[in-house]
Structure 1
Amino acid sequence: MLNLPVPLVTVLLLIASNIFMTYAWYGHLKDGASLPMFKVVLISWGVAFFEYCLMVPANRIGYTYFNAAQLKTIQEVITLAVFAAFSVLYLKESLGWNHLIGFSLIALGAFFIFQKW
């Protein structure tokens, strides 16, 4: 196995898991309107299974380096970045200045989580 730094492994696993979860939560909005809700839920659960297969190891590995609050903060910032890209690229929605300011304020909050004051 590759001997990659724990922070890099953690972030890569979190990015991959968030891609699956974002698709599970929002992917059906584009093309799934014609499917019955129970099918959409079952498909989303199937996709989310892979998210868990990546998220759980990411947290377990990451907890050897980060504390729980830092792990959650990393996950939330990644979630926003993945969601923004997904929204623009897959759902073809635009992000306005208000979205960018809101996301930036959340990233600023992440800065404070990682300070040792």
Structure 2
Amino acid sequence: MSFPLLLLIISNCFMTLAWYGHLKFLHGAPLWQAILFGWMIALLEYAFMIPATRLLAQHGWSLGQMKITQEVVTLLVFVPFMLYLFKQPFKLDYLWAGLCLLGCVYFVFRSS
């Protein structure tokens, strides 16, 4: 089960870079370049996300379980990205948001 989760983590790294990387690396570039940059990276994101979701589905995960897991992975990838690449200050609210997501994980997996 760890291989699909590794694929999700890699996918999220590319997704986060595709969605927000242009703000750091193409700050003064025209919009069309930022869009092209994002789509080129998003292609890599999909190359990891599609196999991850297929493998999880083959292991009997529901769509809800996959989505909630994806959101947890997104938060785990995004917060370090935000803190280190963009030098944003850490807020305690991020911890509370993470704990709320853990509650989501509990509820979506408890009936399986």
The two structures have a TM-score, normalised by structure 2, of: 0.93
What is the Cα deviation at residue 37 of structure 1? Answer: 0.6
Aligned partner of 2:44 in structure 1 is 50
Are positions 1:70 and 2:58 aligned together? Answer: no
Distance (whole Å) between structure 2 residues aligned to residue 33 and residue 14 of structure 1? 28
Candidates 92, 97, 101, aligned match of 1:102: 97
CA RMSD of aligned residues (A): 1.2
Q: Can you list the C-alpha shifts for 1:62-113, whole angstroms capped at 9, x where unaligned? A: 1011121111111110001100111011111122011211221122111111
Partner-residue secondary structure (3-state), 2:87: coil
Residue of structure 2 in register with 1:36 after alignment: 30
Deviations 1:1-59 (A, max 9, x none): xxxxxx21110000000000000001111232210011000010000000000000000
Aligned structure 1 segments of 4 or more residues deviating by more than 3 angstroms: none
Kept after mapping to 1: 8 A contact 2:13/2:77: yes
- How far apart, CA to CA, are the structure 2 residues paired with 1:42 and 1:75? 24
2:21 counterpart residue number: 27
The percentage of counterpart residues that share the same residue type is 36
Aligned equivalents of 1:35, 1:19: Cα separation in 2: 22
Matched, 1:86 2:81: yes
CA distance in 2: counterparts of 1:80 and 1:22, whole angstroms = 10
Provide structure 2 residue ranges, at least 5 long, that are not aligned to the other structure.
none
Question: May I ask how many residue pairs the two structures share in their alignment?
Answer: 111
